[in-house]
Chains A and B, each alone.
Chain A
Amino acid sequence: MSTTVGFHDEGYGYDVFGLHPPTLDRIIHTCAPIYDHYFRVSSEGIEHVPTEGPAILVANHGGVLPMDAAMLCFDVLRRLDPPRIPRAIADHFVPRLPIVSTLFARCGVVSGTHTNAARLLERGELLAIWPEGVSGPAKKFRDRYRIQAWRVGFAELAIRHRAPVVPVAIVGAEESWPLAKKLHLRWFDSPYLPIPAWPLPLPAHYRLRYGPAMDLARGHVAADADDPVLVHDAAARVRDKLEQMLDDLRRIRRGVFR
């Protein structure tokens, strides 16, 4: 698989955010069994993801570690034709973690600053954003698949850069590896140290559904992205759509592991 489509090489094989396609290729190759055989990821609606131009994938977030984010990025790389490298936007503390920060950067993960996201969209890249942020993985098991705090920055970006938003419902992550306890240690500025319910994720069947692209910028100009009411309304529309897709996916699945 070639992961160099749309890659902006800065001259040494890396882009300005540290993405290194050969490293990404190696990781995809190494982790393919996890995607294919352990979580048996199935997805539908990949045709809704634009194959070119700026776009934003907006997904729900859950599970003790971001396995759902990894599976979504993996799915886009595997199934989208031609493949695009989704630029996952991570919370601010993630790129501070030793080893993880470098590894994530080589795979295309970017720190969630406004400048970073804006520049990526200006370059016509595909962003993957989890607007729940930390509140998604931090929620209790009884709250699984209930959208938590919903940040609206993605809607502002979508309107300002005229980027279509593709809602993505991910089911399976929350049962696979739920959070047991949060230790408030704040190592490396992380909000908490997660203690999983079990040491390894269970082989839950991951189901992904891509919804039709939503044009939040329709009827607006870029300057409208400064209107807080408009941005909140647009973000709420995406949230409502995502909740509906999550309910549908959970209804049709026959079990967590099947």
Chain B
Amino acid sequence: MNVLVTGATCPLGAAIIERLIADRNVGRVLAVGREPGQSWTDPRVTYRMANLTRTREVHDLIHGDARALAIDTVIHAAQHRGANDGGHYIHAQNVESARALIHACTDHPTIRRFVARSFAEVYVQPQSTTSLIDEEAALDFDPAAPQWLRDRVEADLTIASHGGSLPTAVLRCAELIAPDSGSQLWDYLSSRVCLRPAGYDPIINVLSLEDASVAFVFAARSEATGVFNIAGADTLPLSRAILESNRLDIPVPGMLMAPLYRLRHALAGFEFRYDLNVRRFHFGGVLDGTRARRELGYVPQTHVHWPRPWWRVLFERLSEARS
């Protein structure tokens, strides 16, 4: 198996590449990213810098380097991470790049499979504190939704509804809890004080980087096509997630949450946006990973590494150094 991985410089892309390298059945890995000068020690990995918003670069990448390396599987993990960015360029990064990529891969002489990353956020959040979300659940087509969400839904549908002959798997992943991954929850839990809507303590499910990379490698190996929910190993109430991160949990009336977090964003510039999370912070909803387990063989096993306060990280590192 020769694999092309986009988003190679983001935490998920890098983790996927590391896992592919560890697999002896993988021949070549073509890592694609936007930053120059990336390198891997393993000689099987070739790094190419490419701007996926440019159709010509995508075409040249797929019909040039990918063909030369006999790439047979493409894992599209690239996605713009900033929740507060918007505009045409961000749309091109999130949606048009996916469209150009799958178009270029269709009827390609060597590419036989396309695996794309999507997000649990594309589903309409169930207005219930106790709900499993399967792959048949409704998607959020709210035209008033922020671009961050609309882009994700459009990119998901662009790939999932692709009518070509290329076998495609779309992995709708639970929220990744890792730094620099664009995770809203990571940013939320990185704050010393976490405000929570009073009267609600929804169950959330989160995904570790390790499990996410395993899911992508399993999907690349599998022949199953369609949409798959990728749930994580951690299912817990929001209050417990705050506790696990050693943060102060303060329930406040729901109507105060948005202005307080807007104020925080204005003053401190954090990525967390309450308007993107308002339904989830009231009603939760957990991805039902039955199909992924049955068809991909993916079972979440690795717990997330919760954000820690600096003193705890220091303490843990000192303990490790001493031992």
Please report A residues at the B interface, Cβ cutoff 8 Å. Answer: 10-12, 14-18, 92, 95-96, 98-99, 101-102, 104-105, 109-111, 113, 115-116, 119, 189
Complex-state Cα separation, A113 to B127, whole angstroms: 11
Contacting residue for B130 out of A98, A99, A109, A189, CB 8 A: A109
Complex-state Cα separation, A109 to B131, whole angstroms: 11
- A16-B128 in contact (CB<8A): no
- With a cutoff of 8 Å between Cβ atoms, the chain A residues found around residue B129 in the complex are 18, 95-96, 101-102, 105, 111
Please report B residues at the A interface, Cβ cutoff 8 Å. Answer: 126-134, 137, 198-203, 205, 233-237, 240, 282-284, 286, 288, 290, 303
Complex-state Cα separation, A113 to B235, whole angstroms: 19
- With a cutoff of 8 Å between Cβ atoms, the chain B residues found around residue A113 in the complex are 126, 128, 131-132
- A12-B234 in contact (CB<8A): yes
Interface of B is mostly: loop
- With a cutoff of 8 Å between Cβ atoms, the chain B residues found around residue A98 in the complex are 198-200
For the complex of A and B, the 4 pairs showing the least CB-CB separation, nearest first, are A98-B199, A111-B128, A10-B235, A95-B128
- B128-A102 in contact (CB<8A): no
Q: Known: A105-B129, A113-B132, A116-B132. Contact between A14 and B236, CB under 8 A?
A: yes
Q: Known: A98-B198, A102-B201. Contact between A14 and B235, CB under 8 A?
A: yes
Q: Known: A102-B201, A105-B203. Contact between A11 and B130, CB under 8 A?
A: no
- Tell me the minimal C-beta distance from B226 to chain A in angstroms: 17
Complex-state Cα separation, A16 to B205, whole angstroms: 9
Complex-state Cα separation, A189 to B127, whole angstroms: 10
Q: Most A CB atoms within 10 A — which of B130, B137, B200, B288?
A: B130
Complex-state Cα separation, A11 to B199, whole angstroms: 24
Complex-state Cα separation, A239 to B100, whole angstroms: 57
- With a cutoff of 8 Å between Cβ atoms, the chain B residues found around residue A116 in the complex are 130-132
- Tell me the minimal C-beta distance from A186 to chain B in angstroms: 13
Complex-state Cα separation, A109 to B286, whole angstroms: 15
Complex-state Cα separation, A109 to B129, whole angstroms: 10
- Tell me the minimal C-beta distance from B239 to chain A in angstroms: 9
Q: Known: A11-B303, A14-B237. Contact between A111 and B126, CB under 8 A?
A: yes
- B132-A11 in contact (CB<8A): no
* Chain A residue nearest to B282 in the complex (CB): A96
- What would be 7 A-B contacts, judged by CB atoms less than 8 Å apart? A10-B236, A11-B303, A16-B132, A95-B129, A102-B129, A111-B131, A115-B137
Contacting residue for B237 out of A18, A99, A115, A189, CB 8 A: A18
* Chain A residue nearest to B235 in the complex (CB): A10
Complex-state Cα separation, A70 to B59, whole angstroms: 63
- With a cutoff of 8 Å between Cβ atoms, the chain B residues found around residue A15 in the complex are 235
- Tell me the minimal C-beta distance from B97 to chain A in angstroms: 32
- Tell me the minimal C-beta distance from B139 to chain A in angstroms: 15
Complex-state Cα separation, A87 to B80, whole angstroms: 41
- Tell me the minimal C-beta distance from B177 to chain A in angstroms: 14
- A11-B290 in contact (CB<8A): no
- With a cutoff of 8 Å between Cβ atoms, the chain A residues found around residue B198 in the complex are 98
Complex-state Cα separation, A115 to B303, whole angstroms: 25
- B130-A110 in contact (CB<8A): yes
- Tell me the minimal C-beta distance from B293 to chain A in angstroms: 12
- Tell me the minimal C-beta distance from B305 to chain A in angstroms: 14
Contacting residue for A17 out of B130, B233, B236, CB 8 A: B130
Complex-state Cα separation, A12 to B233, whole angstroms: 10
Complex-state Cα separation, A240 to B205, whole angstroms: 42
Q: Most A CB atoms within 10 A — which of B129, B237, B282, B290?
A: B129
Complex-state Cα separation, A189 to B128, whole angstroms: 11
Q: Most A CB atoms within 10 A — which of B132, B133, B200, B202?
A: B132
- B290-A119 in contact (CB<8A): yes
Complex-state Cα separation, A119 to B131, whole angstroms: 11
- With a cutoff of 8 Å between Cβ atoms, the chain A residues found around residue B128 in the complex are 92, 95-96, 101, 111, 113
Contacting residue for A105 out of B130, B133, B235, B303, CB 8 A: B130
- Tell me the minimal C-beta distance from B244 to chain A in angstroms: 8
- With a cutoff of 8 Å between Cβ atoms, the chain A residues found around residue B126 in the complex are 111, 113
Q: Known: A105-B203, A115-B288. Contact between A14 and B132, CB under 8 A?
A: no
- With a cutoff of 8 Å between Cβ atoms, the chain B residues found around residue A10 in the complex are 234-236
With A17-B203, A111-B129 given, name 20 new contacts (CB 8 A): A11-B233, A11-B236, A14-B235, A14-B240, A18-B203, A95-B127, A95-B129, A95-B131, A96-B127, A96-B128, A96-B282, A98-B199, A102-B200, A105-B203, A111-B128, A113-B128, A115-B132, A115-B134, A115-B288, A116-B132
- Tell me the minimal C-beta distance from A113 to chain B in angstroms: 6
Complex-state Cα separation, A10 to B304, whole angstroms: 13
- B203-A16 in contact (CB<8A): yes
Complex-state Cα separation, A119 to B231, whole angstroms: 15
